[in-house]
Amino acid sequence: MAYSFPEEVLEHVFSFINSDKDRNAVSLVCKSWYEIERWCRRRIFVGNCYAVSPRIMIRRFPEVRSVELKGKPHFADFNLVPEDWGGYVYPWIAAMSRAYPWLEEIRLKRMVVTDEALELISKSFRNFKVLVLSTCEGFSTDGLAAIASNCKHLRELDLRESEVDDISGHWLSHFPDTCTSLVSLNIACLVSELSCSVLERLVARSPNLRTLRLNRAVPLEKLPNILRRAPQLVELGTGAYSTELRSDIFSNLAEAFSGCKELKGLSGFWDVVPAYLPAIYSVCAGLTSLNLSYATIQCPDLIKLVSQCHNLQRLWVLDYIEDSGLDALAASCKDLQELRVFPSDPFGAGPNVSLTEQGLVSVSEGCPKLQSVLFFCRQMTNAALVTIARNRPNLIRFRLCIIDAQAPDYLTLQPLDTGFGAIVQNCKELRRLSLSGLLTDRVFEYIGSHGKKLEMLSIAFAGDSDLGLHHVLSGCESLRKLEIRDSPFGDKALLANAAKLETMRSLWMSSCSVSFGACKLLGRKLPGLNVEVIDERGPPDLRPESSPVEKLYIYRTVAGPRFDMPGFVWRMNEDQAWRLS
Amino acid sequence: MIKRIELSQFSLNKQVWAYRKDKGVGVLLEIVMSPPLLGVGEEADQSNITLLASPASLDRNVCHNILELKEHNYMGLSNCSSVDSSTISTTSGGNNGCLNLKATELRLGLPGSQSPERDSEFSLLCSPNLDEKPLFPLHPSKDGNYLLSRKTVGSGNKRGFSDVMEGFAEGTFLVSSEVNVILSPRPSLNSVLKSVSVKENTGTQPPKTKEVISKNTAQEKPCTGSEIGADRVATANNNSNAPATKAQVVGWPPVRSFRKNTLASSSKNAEEVDGKAGPGAMFIKVSMAGAPYLRKVDLTSYSAYQELSSALEKMFSCFTIGQYGSHGAPGREMLSESKLKDLLHGSEYVLTYEDKEGDWMLVGDVPW
């Protein structure tokens, strides 16, 4: 008989299955499994908030406890998406406030969150525990005050790199004295001064606090007091790391750090005074994660620091680390898995530090577990890339940004096709790739042939013709997100691979050569996609059909058209006459 | 003479798409009848014809001209070995001159297809054998320096409608065999112009100094449509001197605003360690009364109120065009800069901002 197991047993079995992919697979086995699974799914991830509507989500999954939503396209981080494009969370919150009274966790990325939304969250979900707002905007510290006041069981408040209208630091006082549940507090993006005594009291009454990331306004002299009240901290983000040089402050600080035996991650270090760096030496041996990407520490001090962090797995740092620092890293940090090197002077006319491709080669040689790289530099060679690829076939994420757009191999003046080709060919598990430098269609040929596990590809100022795009769309079987800017890709490849777009989450193309006519065609032929043209010059039908659109964002959806499009976004899926008249 | 090119399928309008298998590039061709070239030689390894035989030397950082081209890459620019300095007879001195081409009007143009010209395979001229459709022409200005013929600029996402039309209105251009195009290699114009440095496969010597290399690479700049605005504004400032920073392209390099703003204030606070001026960007939101959307503007790319004001004028000009359109201002035709200014000066818009205390101030009261 079909029902060999009672539902409860199946539910219990399913409770061990947490990955979305597996859950989705389970739900396809048969109707009864579909039903059982949907009632017991507790965690939902929506990679594109417009791909599905709150109503559809709620209808299928009535008992959700945790929701994660992402809004704007990734290129919004670089100001390529105009203001008011969309990504509003309020409709979701409103719907969930009625349907999910037991919701515990909300995680948002690149969404517009208002104070009203925050207030609604704080009042609708009695058991609310986790709020993570990553690169969000649209809210102020008043909204945070509402969260602090009303969420009695709040465990996590993490503002990542959101843009907050920072009215004052007073909101922190809204945490009632009865709130003792905090596990993670990340307010590093806030600007206003906070009351240190309020902060200290909050920390003191939160015995479970594991992650604390302070903002720049918290002075260094106050840090020891905070640390003493939270010796169990695992992750710390300091505030400003500078003050007048005084030995008593130093010893206080060093002592406080040595009391934090569990510390595994450090970040912050705004405005560093290098003389105070040795205060953290006592914890270096235990560190697995170090984020110095806002710290203007020069190479010699960086070398001294990283040489002591033998267990480091993740390092985010500015290019002050230079090649010699990366050599030291390669020698000392054999467990390194992720390296991100950010530019200290991205808009300068020339290099201000001695960071070259050689540094990355060293790390690729010395760190056998390196799998994730984000590297900004000013020069690169095919030879270096080939070496990196050979050294590190286990790379999963490789994002290279050569600051001068379209810079060739500086030794041979050749395009960097061969180098990136080696990366995709050798690194068979590569899931994410960002290209830069001078690149022809050939690199896309390599990517199409070898990038079978590639899920996300970022292209800028690359390629010669539609063939490039065609290689990618026809070859990359696992492609989910493709974002392209300023590349000569037009209608041909897109139309020839239109069906591919339904297998992907989204495609972004800006300053390319896709014509208005092609967009209309795509929109009409593929009802499962929203084809949105973003064009600030005015309605696209005032220009010839062959006229390229400024920006194009195509995504698959089951929710149909969105109704919150601003004036500069046009949807191509139906007869536009009524819309534009 | 043209080497055999394997043609593939399609043709767009009057052009033919061809995929050069030997190069692995797509090329756009338009072939017309024309008298044969004189003195055509052939480069040993790669292909294209060049009028002048000798390879350019790498120790100049002057961009060398290009000659003729049979084909051009997608952007409408020829792939051609750049050539001999001896052809630069008519250039006006060293690094600064650009040759004015009477017959050839080159303008940076096509919206959306603004992938910048290749450095090493770059050329701007066409051979008389082919009528090539310039997809990205560069417009020489009167004083011989190359400028963009963009009429409207903005450091945001906008490009003027007139620019779009220019790109399309551009017909084929003639080529004279004397045409030499020299792009100014000055750093100030980097983002606007593309240098044509010497082709790598002509057997030239490796670069003599690293500095030359870095200059060359520094000269490769994207000339993209949507970024022209930012470029242009900065260019306008940087006309005579080497600037401390490059003109900025929107969203490039891809550094988040949060990080940019933080670095900017770090460098101000910490008395910049490496001695350079703090380069980070400060983004502010600007909205115009009646406009449907806001714009984000980077304050550090301007050094005076006047620049900010003109940039904002241009950015928001699309609304004024709409408003004044019915008053006889040209619709589809290009609006000249002066006309735009007239329109905006005739309007009642003033710039205001909100200061730290939350008061609204008139822009210009406080020194920049």
B111:A547 CB<8 A: yes
Q: How does strand A130-134 pair with strand A137-140?
A: unpaired
Q: Which amino acid is at A279?
A: A
Chain A residues inside the 8 Å CB shell of B244: 348-349
Query: Does A107 touch chain B if contact means CB atoms closer than 8 Å?
Result: no
In DSSP notation, B299-326 reads GGG--SHHHHHHHHHHHTHHHHHHHHGG
Q: If residue A532 lies in a helix (H) or strand (E), which one and from where to where? A: strand A529-534
- pLDDT > 70? residue B211: no
Contacts of B131 (CB under 8 A, 6+ apart): B30, B31, B32, B34, B172
Q: A344: helix, coil or strand?
A: coil
User: Per the structure block, which two tokens stand in for A233?
Assistant: 């901290």
User: Per the structure block, which two tokens stand in for B345?
Assistant: 């000066």
Average pLDDT, chain B: 46
- Enter the pTM of the model: 0.69
User: Per the structure block, which two tokens stand in for A48?
Assistant: 């594109």
Chain A residues inside the 8 Å CB shell of B295: 82-83
Chain A residues inside the 8 Å CB shell of B114: 486, 511
Give the Cα separation of A509 and A549 in Å (integer): 9
- How deeply is B170 buried, as exposed, middle or buried, from its count of CB atoms within 10 A (0-12, 13-18, 19+)? buried
**pLDDT score, position B292:** 57
Q: Which of B200, B220, B227 sits opposite A406 (nearest CB)?
A: B220
User: Per the structure block, which two tokens stand in for A565?
Assistant: 């499009």
HSE on the CB side for A256, CA within 13 Å? Answer: 21
Q: Which residue of A has its CA nearest to B203?
A: A412
Q: Distance from B245 to chain A by nearest Cα, in Å?
A: 4
Query: Does A547 touch chain B if contact means CB atoms closer than 8 Å?
Result: yes
Nearest 10 degrees: CA dihedral of A446, A452, A458, A464?
30
Q: Which of B77, B263, B303, B332 to mutate to test the interface with A (most CBs of A within 10 A)?
A: B263
Q: Which residue of A has its CA nearest to B251?
A: A78
A406:B222 CB<8 A: yes
Q: How does strand A184-186 pair with strand A211-213?
A: parallel
Share of chain B above pLDDT 90, in %: 2
Q: Distance from B3 to chain A by nearest Cα, in Å?
A: 20
* Residue B16 pLDDT class (50, 70, 90 cuts): very low
Comparing B179-188, B239-248, B298-307, which segment has the lowest mean pLDDT?
A: B179-188
Chain A residues inside the 8 Å CB shell of B292: 566-568
* Residue B355 pLDDT class (50, 70, 90 cuts): low
Q: Which amino acid is at A258?
A: S
**Among residues 471-530 of chain A, which lie with CB inside 8 Å of chain B?**
485-488, 490, 492, 510-514
A536:B293 CB<8 A: yes
Q: A570: helix, coil or strand?
A: strand
Tens-digit pLDDT profile for residues A483-515: 999 999 999 999 999 999 999 999 999 999 999
User: Per the structure block, which two tokens stand in for A558?
Assistant: 């089951």
Q: Distance from B360 to chain A by nearest Cα, in Å?
A: 17
B256:A347 CB<8 A: no
In DSSP notation, A438-499 reads S--HHHHHHHHHH-TT--EEEEES--SSHHHHHHHHHH-TT--EEEEES---BHHHHHHTGG
Let me know: does A237 contact A213? Beta carbons within 8 Å. Answer: yes
Give the Cα separation of B259 and A343 in Å (integer): 10
Helices (H), ranges, A154-268: 196-204, 223-229, 247-258
Q: Which of B7, B14, B113 to mutate to test the interface with A (most CBs of A within 10 A)?
A: B113
Q: Which residue of A has its CA nearest to B225?
A: A511
Residue of B49, B47, B48, B29 whose CA lies nearest to B39: B49
Give the Cα separation of A417 and A420 in Å (integer): 5
The strand pairing partners of B333, in sequence order, are none
CA A407 vs CA A402, A404, A416, B213: distances in Å: 7, 6, 9, 11
For residue B253, say if its preceding peptide bond is cis, omega within 30 degrees of 0.
yes
What counts of helices (H) and strands (E) characterise chain A? 21, 23
**pLDDT score, position B294:** 62
Give the Cα separation of A355 and A341 in Å (integer): 10
| Max mean pLDDT range (A309-323, B14-28, B251-265) | A309-323
Chain B residues inside the 8 Å CB shell of A466: 26
Chain B residues inside the 8 Å CB shell of A379: 214, 217
- pLDDT > 60? residue B144: no
HSE on the CB side for B338, CA within 13 Å? Answer: 0
Tens-digit pLDDT profile for residues B167-204: 333 333 333 333 333 333 333 333 333 333 333 333 33
Q: Which of B6, B14, B25, B332 to mutate to test the interface with A (most CBs of A within 10 A)?
A: B25
Q: Which residue of B has its CA nearest to A491?
A: B12
* Residue B305 pLDDT class (50, 70, 90 cuts): low
**Among residues 199-228 of chain A, which lie with CB inside 8 Å of chain B?**
none
Chain A residues inside the 8 Å CB shell of B214: 350-351, 378-379, 410
Tens-digit pLDDT profile for residues A460-472: 999 999 999 999 9
Chain A residues inside the 8 Å CB shell of B119: 406-408, 413, 438
**pLDDT score, position B334:** 38
* Residue B350 pLDDT class (50, 70, 90 cuts): low
Q: Distance from A512 to chain B by nearest Cα, in Å?
A: 4
A438:B118 CB<8 A: yes
Q: A144: helix, coil or strand?
A: helix
Chain A residues inside the 8 Å CB shell of B115: 461-463, 486-488
- pLDDT > 60? residue B29: no
- pLDDT > 90? residue B353: no
- pLDDT > 50? residue B362: yes
Write out residues in chain A with pLDDT < 70, as ranges: 1-4, 575-581
ipTM comes to 0.89
| Max mean pLDDT range (A465-474, B243-252, B285-294) | A465-474
Residue of B215, B212, B214, B232 whose CA lies nearest to B223: B232
Q: How many CB atoms lie within 10 A of CB B59?
A: 12
Give the Cα separation of A159 and A136 in Å (integer): 8
Contacts 24+ apart (CB under 8 A), A34-39: A36/A7, A36/A10, A36/A11, A38/A62, A39/A11, A39/A63
Query: Does A541 touch chain B if contact means CB atoms closer than 8 Å?
Result: no
* DSSP-derived secondary structure letter, B353: E
Give the Cα separation of B291 and B296 in Å (integer): 14
* Residue B28 pLDDT class (50, 70, 90 cuts): low
Let me know: does A558 contact A51? Beta carbons within 8 Å. Answer: yes
Tens-digit pLDDT profile for residues B155-166: 333 443 334 333
Q: Which amino acid is at B101?
A: L
B249:A405 CB<8 A: yes
User: A508 or B150: which carries more pLDDT confidence?
Assistant: A508
Q: How many CB atoms lie within 10 A of CB B337?
A: 16
Q: Which of B15, B155, B266 to mutate to test the interface with A (most CBs of A within 10 A)?
A: B266
Cα A344 to chain center, whole Å?
20
* Residue B8 pLDDT class (50, 70, 90 cuts): very low
Tens-digit pLDDT profile for residues A55-65: 999 999 999 99
**pLDDT score, position B180:** 36
Q: Which residue of A has its CA nearest to B188?
A: A349
| Residue pointed to by tokens 């792009």 | B183
Comparing A170-184, A392-406, B100-114, B305-319, which segment has the lowest mean pLDDT?
A: B100-114
A411:B206 CB<8 A: yes
